[in-house]
Structure 1
Amino acid sequence: MRLRVVAVGRPRLAYARLGVEEYAGRIGRYAPLELLFVREGEALLPKAEGHLKVVLDERGKLFTTEGLYRLFQGWEGQRVAFLVGGAEGHPEEVRKRADLLLALSPLTLQHELALLVLLEQLYRLFTLKAGHPYHR
């Protein structure tokens, strides 16, 4: 699986920037990860061309870790792009073109925190696949 995470804006908050760096590095031990930053929501779709598009949206589908892992297993061999909107969320066109609208929580998360939570969950899925106890 080849993962691409495309986010609007680089994290500016120190905790988010450090967390994103930490989990991106951890994920890199298991699979190639491209972490791309764009200036505006309209630039997300071109960066996800040719990928299965998973759009983070609080109105999306909620999964348990185990449920997301089952979905994750089905993506083996595919190119998957996770799209993280900015402070204003996603343009409607991004939501319409999503293969999956994914909610990380029923709560609205600040976009930098959403990026960090996404990367932590991706790392958790890779450790689950590898049989490590981290996922518990």
Structure 2
Amino acid sequence: MNIKFVVVGKLKEKYFKQGIAEYAKRLSRFCKFSIVEVPDEKAPESMSQAEMDQVMAAEGERILSKIKDREYVYALAILGKERSSEEFAKELKDLTTYGHSDITFVIGGSLGLTPAVLKRANTQISFGRFTLPHQLMRLVLTEQVYRAFMINEGSPYHK
């Protein structure tokens, strides 16, 4: 199984990098895990809606260029479907059972994802209505993917 994150922007904070590296190491026994970073667009504080749409469109094109046709895509979106850790674990297990071995998660930039990216996604997932920095979301998502594997293995990790 291949798990890939396609994310906007570089991870600068050392503590996020360390946390993600730890979960990536743990995930290596379950899957091939990778993170593909696409450059973010410069986005000044005050932009018109047209400028915001332009920034999102540029980032969206970069995201879509990193997704292959056969990949099952989760788009992280506030309005996506919330799942419990157990539901998420079952979903990942079911996907692999039914032939989806390439699973991709997309985390947009600070302005979110374009309709084109959301349309390409097979499903949208939400981690609640909180707004979280996309760098932190990367760490949270990595841990939840690891947790899903541990739940499916019957490990006590999920207590």
Structure-2-length-normalised TM-score? 0.80
- The residue that corresponds to 1:51 in the other structure is 71
Structure 1 residues 28-72: Cα deviation after superposition (integer angstroms, max 9, x where no partner): 121111211111332112212120110011110000111111211
What is the deviation of 1:109? 1.1
Question: RMSD over aligned Cα, in angstroms?
Answer: 1.3
Rounded Cα–Cα distance in structure 1 between residues aligned with 2:15 and 2:123 = 28
Rounded Cα–Cα distance in structure 2 between residues aligned with 1:55 and 1:95 = 6
Rounded Cα–Cα distance in structure 2 between residues aligned with 1:20 and 1:86 = 18
Q: Partner of 1:18: helix, strand, or coil?
A: helix
What is the deviation of 1:6? 1.0
Rounded Cα–Cα distance in structure 2 between residues aligned with 1:118 and 1:14 = 17
**Contact 2:60 / 2:116 at 8 angstroms: preserved in 1?**
no
Structure 1: segments with no counterpart, 5+ residues: none
**Contact 1:41 / 1:86 at 8 angstroms: preserved in 2?**
no
**Contact 2:90 / 2:152 at 8 angstroms: preserved in 1?**
no
Structure of higher CA gyration radius = 2
For 1:5, give the aligned amino acid.
F
What is the deviation of 1:10? 2.1
